[in-house]
């Protein structure tokens, strides 16, 4: 079902500082995008088959602002690429894994995304992602 790691989402307080750091590691900034539905600004760095996705909250109500408040900056989620997201969600649920999103919703980078519930994923916030690029 899972093809590869689509991206690793990392919560940062300041996107520009985050960008500077990953550029120092030699990664190249691909794009910056705002996702109003998630109240985040996102910066992408391709890294092989995957991307580093830096997430900065644009509102105190943003899930990213809440995550930073609780746990500080750092890895927020791991996104696995799947070919057919609705089918993957049906299969995941049939396998007894709880979902946060029962239906795909639009994410950054023109992807369709859905989150699994961390209570049934050993504490890791897992996103399933249908890449459309």
Residues that bind Co ion (CB under 5 A): 9, 79, 127
Q: Measured from the CB of residue 107, what is the shortest distance to Co ion in angstroms?
A: 6
Q: Which is nearer to Co ion, 86 or 101 (CB)?
A: 101
Please state, in angstroms and rounded to a whole number, the distance separating the CA atoms of residues 3 and 90.
17
Q: What are the phi and psi torsion angles at 117 (to 5°)?
A: -80, 125
Q: Measured from the CB of residue 9, what is the shortest distance to Co ion in angstroms?
A: 4
10 Å Cβ neighbour count for 67? 19
Q: Measured from the CB of residue 19, what is the shortest distance to Co ion in angstroms?
A: 17
Please state, in angstroms and rounded to a whole number, the distance separating the CA atoms of residues 15 and 73.
11
Q: Measured from the CB of residue 102, what is the shortest distance to Co ion in angstroms?
A: 18
Q: Measured from the CB of residue 108, what is the shortest distance to Co ion in angstroms?
A: 7
Q: Which one-letter DSSP state was computed for residue 117?
A: P
Q: Which is nearer to Co ion, 9 or 18 (CB)?
A: 9
Pick the closest to residue 73 from 53, 55, 52 (CA basis). 55
Contact 78, 125 (CB under 8 A): yes
Q: Which is nearer to Co ion, 105 or 120 (CB)?
A: 105
Q: Which is nearer to Co ion, 48 or 96 (CB)?
A: 48
Q: Which is nearer to Co ion, 112 or 127 (CB)?
A: 127
The angle at the Cα of 58, spanning 53 to 59, to the nearest 5 degrees, equals 130
């Amino acid at each position: 079902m899972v093809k590869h790691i689509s991206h690793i989402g990392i919560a940062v307080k300041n996107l520009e500082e985050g960008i500077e750091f990953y550029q120092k590691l030699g990664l190249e900034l691909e794009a910056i995008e705002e996702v109003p539905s998630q109240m985040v600004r996102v910066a992408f760095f391709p890294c092989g088959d995957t991307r580093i996705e830096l997430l900065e909250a644009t509102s105190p109500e943003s899930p990213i602002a809440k995550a930073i408040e609780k746990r500080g900056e750092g890895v927020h989620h791991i996104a696995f690429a799947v070919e057919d997201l609705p089918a993957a969600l049906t299969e995941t649920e049939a396998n007894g894994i709880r979902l946060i999103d029962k239906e795909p919703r639009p994410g950054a980078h023109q992807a369709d995304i859905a989150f699994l519930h961390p209570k049934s994923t050993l504490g890791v916030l897992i996103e399933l992602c249908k890449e459309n690029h």
